[in-house]
Amino acid sequence: MAGTNFTTVLEFILLGFSELPNSQGFLFGIFLIVYISILTGNGIIILLTKVSRALHTPMYFFLGNFSFLEICYTSVTLPNMLTSLWTHDRNISFLACATQLCFLLILGGTECLLLAVMAYDRYVAICKPLYYPLIMKHKVCVQLVVGSWTTGIPVMIGQTYQVFSLPFCGSNKLDHIFCDIPPLLKLACSDTFVIELSVYVVAVLFVMIPFILIIKSYVKIITTILKLPSNTGKYKAFSTCTSHLIVVILFFGSATITYSRPRSNNAGITEKILSLFYTIVTPMFNPMIYSLRNKDVIEAMKQLLPK
């Protein structure tokens, strides 16, 4: 508009939990404990899958990679969040925000694909046990993991470029705990319909399709398990799948709700809570879910730790 002065945004202010000024120290302590538990728990899983011969199988190869992914995923957001809570400095540069979003999208897409790969591994193990050693060779497992890590890189870089090509003018207050697409689009001072459409397309490719494949795998898995003659066999088969299924529900559920909700100026606190689930809660509970329900992991841990 002619005669209107626009201020180009050079940095953002991540409001985080600024609505709770008296709880900053408490929140710092909570998130620090959570981050340490994520690093420790997932680090132990990685170590166990490396040193224990009993865990040198495709299932635990994928689990070790998944735990490494969880450490990377939380390290994109949590250290910056902790620094902000400790120093009360909520500023983040334009470039740092773009970098954070890019890595968040890449690692989030990788997590969706890797969860689908893990579901496929369980499908082959339970539905085609005789062919499992032939299908899930180490070379194939490595290819599936590499594919999960690399497939989304060009797409997510393009998505990030699209978002940060928007003109941001006026307010630079980002009502979120980290740089994410929904709160960033609220600050854009131009039409965001095309970018929102591309976000939904990417969500379908990297969230909905893997989720549908996971559900399809589990329908076949459950059908096969119910046909097993012994209750012991059914219990063992279910126990190897329920851990993965719990992680899938936690991650996909919160991420899908966050990105499929219509934009609203009053949805800040809801988005923050939902984002905590898929960026922090799932990585924190991942080691506990897999270790507490898995006899192989427990036995490997007993051998590793001093009596």
- CATH assignment of the domain containing 18: 1.20.1070.10
Residue 2: inside a domain: no
Lowest mean pLDDT among 35-39, 83-87, 90-94, 190-194: 190-194
Residue 4: inside a domain: no
Range of the domain at 139: 11-304
The C-alpha atoms of residue 176 and residue 174 are separated, in whole angstroms, by 6
The answer, yes or no, to whether residue 189 has pLDDT greater than 90, is no
| Mean residue pLDDT across the chain | 86
Residue 297: inside a domain: yes
Q: Report the domain count for the chain.
A: 1
Contact 55, 49 (CB under 8 A): yes
Residue 186: inside a domain: yes
pTM over cut 0.85: yes
Q: For the residues 174-197, what does the mean pLDDT come to?
A: 88
Residue 279: inside a domain: yes
Lowest mean pLDDT among 71-80, 135-144, 150-159, 261-270: 261-270
Return the structure tokens found at 205: 């490719």
166-169 long-range contacts, CB within 8 A, separation 24+: 166/190, 166/192, 166/195, 167/6, 167/8, 168/8, 168/9, 169/6, 169/7, 169/8, 169/9
Residue 3: inside a domain: no
Residue 5: inside a domain: no
What are the phi and psi torsion angles at 256 (to 5°)?
Answer: -65, -45
Residue 6: inside a domain: no
